C-alpha cells in the first residue's frame, strides 16, 4: 500500500504520543544487589519474565552484588532517569544501610523514587544440617554446652537486620554470638549446606527450599504470627523475644526524576503480574506475603519502616561505620 502524506503525519503524531521509554528499544534493566542463587535473585527473575510480556519490552536482570545492595544502589543513582532502570530490593538497602553506613554513596529519599511494591516477608533463624539442634531452645543449649556459649551466626550483609537480631539474641540468652557477614544469602547458604557455619539469619525466601529438603532447619521466625509455609516453626514473639514486629518489604525503586507516568505504568504492570495465579503461588511458596503497593503506598511503607528501625538502631548503641 502506498503511504500518503496524511498517513505519514498520522504515524508521526501517534509516535509522538508514545512515552519516551516505550519508544526506546533498549531493555528495561532490573538491578539486583545480591548474587545469583539467593532469594532476591530468584524473585527478580520470576517477575522479570512476566513483566516483559505485560510491559511489551525486554526486561534484563543485572546482578550487582556487594555490600548488602550498596553497589546496586549506587548504580541506580547514576542511571538515567528515563524509565530504563529499576532496582528490586528489600528493606535492608533502602531503609537500613543509610542509617548504619557513614557514606553509603546514595540517599534513599534524595536519589530514588518508589515505583511499586509487591510483598512483605519475615526473617528467620536457621541451623545447618550438621548442627544437632531441632529447635531454637536446643540450639541455645548446644551453644552453651559444646561451645562454651560462643558461636558464629552467618548473616547475608553487615550492619543488617539479621546482625541486630544476632546481637539481641546474644544478650537475651547470655551467649557470645558473633555475626559473620557474607556477600548475600547465596554464599551463606552454601557454607551452611557444607556445615562450615552452624547457623544463619536471613529471610524465609532464602532458606525455605533447603528447609523443605531437610538440608537445614528453620527453627524460629520473626513477627507476631507463624508463617503459612512454616506452620510448625514458632515465632520469636512466642519465645519471648520482642522488638522485631515490623515486617520487611520488597519493592522496586527508580532514579529520582523518573517520569511519574512510568512509575504508574510500571506499578500497574507489577500488580497485574503478582496477581497471576502461578506467580502468586510461587511467591507465596517462597515465604512471601504478596501485597501489591502503588508508588505512594510503598513510599509510606518505607518511611514507617525506616522510622521504626531508627529507634531500634539508636537504642542498640550502634554507631555508623
Query: Cα-flanking dihedrals φ and ψ of residue 19, to 5°?
Result: -55, 155
pTM for the whole structure: 0.81
- Distances in Å between the alpha carbon of 317 and those of 26, 134, 256, 311? 46, 33, 32, 10
Does residue 52 contact residue 58 with C-beta atoms inside 8 Å? yes
Task: For the chain, list residues with pLDDT below 70.
Answer: 1-25
pLDDT for the residue 22: 52
pLDDT for the residue 117: 98
Burial of 319 per CB tally in 10 Å (0-12, 13-18, 19+): exposed
- The three cell numbers of residue 277 are 495465579
The 10s digit of each residue's pLDDT in 110-126 is 999 999 999 999 999 99
- Pairing of β 249-255 and β 112-120: antiparallel
Amino acid at each position: 500500500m502506498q503511504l500518503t502524506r496524511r498517513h505519514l503525519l498520522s504515524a508521526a503524531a501517534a509516535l509522538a504520543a508514545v512515552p519516551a521509554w516505550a519508544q526506546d528499544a533498549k531493555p528495561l534493566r532490573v538491578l539486583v544487589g545480591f548474587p545469583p542463587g539467593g532469594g532476591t535473585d530468584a524473585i527478580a527473575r520470576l517477575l522479570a519474565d512476566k513483566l516483559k510480556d505485560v510491559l511489551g519490552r525486554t526486561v534484563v536482570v543485572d546482578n550487582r552484588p556487594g555490600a548488602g545492595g550498596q553497589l546496586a544502589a549506587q548504580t541506580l543513582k547514576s542511571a538515567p532517569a528515563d524509565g530504563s532502570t529499576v532496582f528490586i530490593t528489600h528493606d535492608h538497602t533502602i531503609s537500613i544501610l543509610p542509617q548504619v553506613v557513614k557514606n553509603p554513596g546514595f540517599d534513599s529519599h534524595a536519589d530514588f523514587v518508589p515505583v511499586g511494591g509487591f510483598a512483605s516477608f519475615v526473617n528467620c533463624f536457621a541451623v545447618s544440617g550438621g548442627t544437632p539442634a531441632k529447635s531454637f531452645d536446643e540450639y541455645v543449649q548446644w551453644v552453651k554446652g559444646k561451645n562454651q556459649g560462643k558461636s558464629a551466626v552467618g548473616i547475608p550483609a553487615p550492619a543488617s537486620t539479621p546482625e541486630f537480631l544476632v546481637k539481641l539474641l546474644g544478650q537475651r540468652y547470655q551467649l557470645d554470638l558473633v555475626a559473620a557477614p557474607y556477600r548475600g544469602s547465596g554464599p551463606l547458604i552454601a557454607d551452611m549446606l557444607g556445615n562450615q557455619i552452624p547457623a544463619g539469619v536471613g529471610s524465609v525466601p532464602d532458606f525455605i527450599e533447603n528447609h523443605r529438603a531437610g538440608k537445614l532447619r528453620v527453627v524460629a521466625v520473626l513477627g507476631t504470627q507463624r508463617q503459612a509455609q512454616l506452620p510448625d516453626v514458632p515465632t520469636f514473639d512466642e519465645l519471648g523475644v520482642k522488638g522485631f514486629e515490623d515486617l520487611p518489604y520488597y519493592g522496586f525503586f527508580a532514579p529520582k526524576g523518573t517520569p511519574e507516568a512510568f512509575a504508574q505504568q510500571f506499578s500497574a504492570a507489577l500488580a497485574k503480574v503478582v496477581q497471576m495465579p502461578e506467580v502468586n503461588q510461587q511467591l507465596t511458596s517462597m515465604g512471601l506475603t504478596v501485597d501489591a503497593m502503588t508508588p505512594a503506598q510503598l513510599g509510606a511503607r518505607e518511611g514507617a519502616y525506616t522510622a521504626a528501625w531508627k529507634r531500634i538502631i539508636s537504642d542498640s548503641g550502634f554507631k555508623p561505620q
